[in-house]
Amino acid sequence: MEQPPGGRLVSSLLLGPRGCEVTLEREPGLLRWRDPQPPRRGRSSGGENVVPASEIIAVEETEIDKKQCDSGKWQKMSKPHAFTESRPKQLLVYINPYGGKRQGKRIYEQKVAPLFHLASISTDVVITEHANHAKDNLFEVNIYKYDGIVCVGGDGMFSEVMHGLIGRIQKDSGIDQNNPKTPLAQCSIRIGIIPAGSTDCICYATVGIVDPETSALHIIVGDCQPLDVSSIHHNNTFLKYSVSLLGYGFYGDILRDSEKKRWMGPARYDFSGFKTFLSHQYYEGTVSFQPAKGTVGSPRDKESCRTGCRICRQTKQLEEQQKNYGLEHKEVEDEWKVIKGKFLAINAVNMSCACPRSPKGLSPAAHLADGSADLILVRKCSRFNFLRYLVRHTNQDDQFDFPFVDVYRVKRFQFMSKQLEDNESDIKDVGKKRFGQFCSDHPACCCNLANSTWNCDGETLDSSAVEVKVRCQLVKLFARGIENYKDETAYNSSSNELLS
């Protein structure tokens, strides 16, 4: 490439048989060329293509390059992966061969491994042999020699790898996960998700599309998306971490029922969903929470979390300022709000939980990394009203605009079922204890369960009483959040051309 003054390199680019001028500007690091094909009438092709240098996967010398090399104008790159510093060079990959349609291994070998090879990324690949294999392995291997951990599978596989990584980092930092008040050590090793499960909601919510090649490209270019994680405890015992949905009542019951019907495959979710809707079960209890005062947004402001999200960035800055002033534990003194009632559903979400079926998700303005969760309380209402609420997840209407639905942005919350409260406060009242499991409002049925189950990112929790705390940006993903459509098309068309 010739270098005229001004840090702008100019050369010719061959796209098939046609040549065109290509320029590389040092600031802001953009590669530009014009499509050599003249624009056809009615089509806007022939315009300028722009690719940030940070998104170029690889550069290879071709035969033509070698000729030019002799002229002294070309130099071989010493490090083919050295476009930007944040790119991973060595990855640890876990593949669940039984996730989803059992295509994990094939997806990795055919769609992902060739891209990693092209980008000169070296990998250690572990094909899991049983559940918790990846989690246990993360406590044994030298994780610090890797720039990232990749999981090939669904949400369950991601959860397993995340628990392994967080647990390992806490262990190495001497932090006891059982203490709900202890600040946790952040995980700087990023996690990449190659979607190959039957539920890939976390990939969808952090990338905007479920596509193994797109996710592989985000890993290669070293994208970084911080993610809040909620820790869940009961009686000073650590239960689990959650990054998407923590749901009691409706979503807990669907999971509890669907687990018994695994033989049905993914259809079990529809079946159990319908059955749970018909049963119209509600649960009594007390929800206590601390509102997230430090966050900039609110659940009903309609500001969705997108690439480079302003709200996530500002909240993190605010948290850092508080830390500098020694105020990070101030929330402990913050006021708790207490709500007692009968609930059809209690949902706490750390992200919108958007999926192809519900493109807005459970809380459309929830943020990936603002240190808060949206707590949605759906009180007892008629079946018809509950149906109206559910249907609003699939259309443009506001799903929080119902008198029986409340939503709060929170940093911490606790839940205790009425049955447990009764047992604790009146332990001597044997009669109350014995009959606590029956529904007092429908004595005729006598089959109303006093407790639901918590659905924690698709897995059940052992306790119905929980203490939940959002850990701001505890983990990082190889992702960049959901991009605005305009930017996406521009980058996608250009990078596809470079790859082909």
List residues with catalytic annotation.
155
- Tell whether residue 371 is a contact of ligand ATP (CB under 6 A): no
d(CA 110, CA 126): 16
Shortest separation between residue 422's beta carbon and ligand ATP, angstroms: 34
Nearest to 202 by CA among 185, 215, 216, 188: 215
SS3 244: coil
Size of the site for ligand ATP (CB under 6 A): 21
Of positions 20, 30, 52, 98, contacts ligand ATP by CB under 6 A: 98
- Tell whether residue 154 is a contact of ligand ATP (CB under 6 A): yes
- The residue nearest ligand ATP at its CB is 154
Measured from the CB atom, the residue of 43 and 130 that comes closer to ligand ATP is 130
Q: CA torsion angle for 15, 21, 22, 24 (degrees, to 10)? A: 170
- Tokens describing residue 45: 């092709």
Q: Identify the bridge partners of residue 285 per DSSP, sorted by sequence position.
A: 341, 417
Shortest separation between residue 106's beta carbon and ligand ATP, angstroms: 14
- Tell whether residue 197 is a contact of ligand ATP (CB under 6 A): yes
Alpha-helical (H) ranges within 306-353 are 310-324
Looking at 42-50, 93-101, 335-343, 436-444, which segment touches ligand ATP (CB under 6 A)?
A: 93-101
Question: Which contacts qualify for 495-499: CB closer than 8 Å, 24 or more apart?
Answer: 495/51, 495/55, 495/57, 495/217, 497/15, 497/49, 498/51, 498/56, 498/57, 499/57
- Tokens describing residue 261: 């019907």
Of positions 198, 237, 288, 358, contacts ligand ATP by CB under 6 A: 198
- Tell whether residue 370 is a contact of ligand ATP (CB under 6 A): no
- Tell whether residue 199 is a contact of ligand ATP (CB under 6 A): yes
- Tell whether residue 195 is a contact of ligand ATP (CB under 6 A): no
d(CA 249, CA 259): 15
Q: Which of residues 116-145 bind ligand ATP (CB under 6 A)?
A: 128-133
Of positions 55, 147, 155, 457, contacts ligand ATP by CB under 6 A: 155
Of positions 371, 436, 458, 481, contacts ligand ATP by CB under 6 A: 458
Measured from the CB atom, the residue of 47 and 356 that comes closer to ligand ATP is 356
Shortest separation between residue 399's beta carbon and ligand ATP, angstroms: 24
Please report, for residues 177, 188, 218, 499, the alpha-carbon distance to residue 55 in angstroms, rounded to integers and kept in the order given: 38, 22, 9, 11
Measured from the CB atom, the residue of 117 and 260 that comes closer to ligand ATP is 260
d(CA 172, CA 325): 27
Q: Which of residues 158-177 bind ligand ATP (CB under 6 A)?
A: 160
- Tell whether residue 64 is a contact of ligand ATP (CB under 6 A): no
DSSP character at residue 145: G
Alpha-helical (H) ranges within 173-296 are 201-207, 212-220, 250-259, 267-279
Shortest separation between residue 371's beta carbon and ligand ATP, angstroms: 26
Looking at 149-157, 309-317, 372-380, 486-494, which segment touches ligand ATP (CB under 6 A)?
A: 149-157
Contact 153, 159 (CB under 8 A): no
Looking at 147-155, 367-375, 399-407, 445-453, which segment touches ligand ATP (CB under 6 A)?
A: 147-155
d(CA 489, CA 483): 10
- Tell whether residue 333 is a contact of ligand ATP (CB under 6 A): no
- Tell whether residue 263 is a contact of ligand ATP (CB under 6 A): no
Shortest separation between residue 197's beta carbon and ligand ATP, angstroms: 3
Please report, for residues 31, 244, 298, the alpha-carbon distance to residue 353 in angstroms, rounded to integers and kept in the order given: 36, 6, 16
Residues that bind ligand ATP (CB under 6 A): 96-100, 128-133, 153-157, 160, 197-199, 458
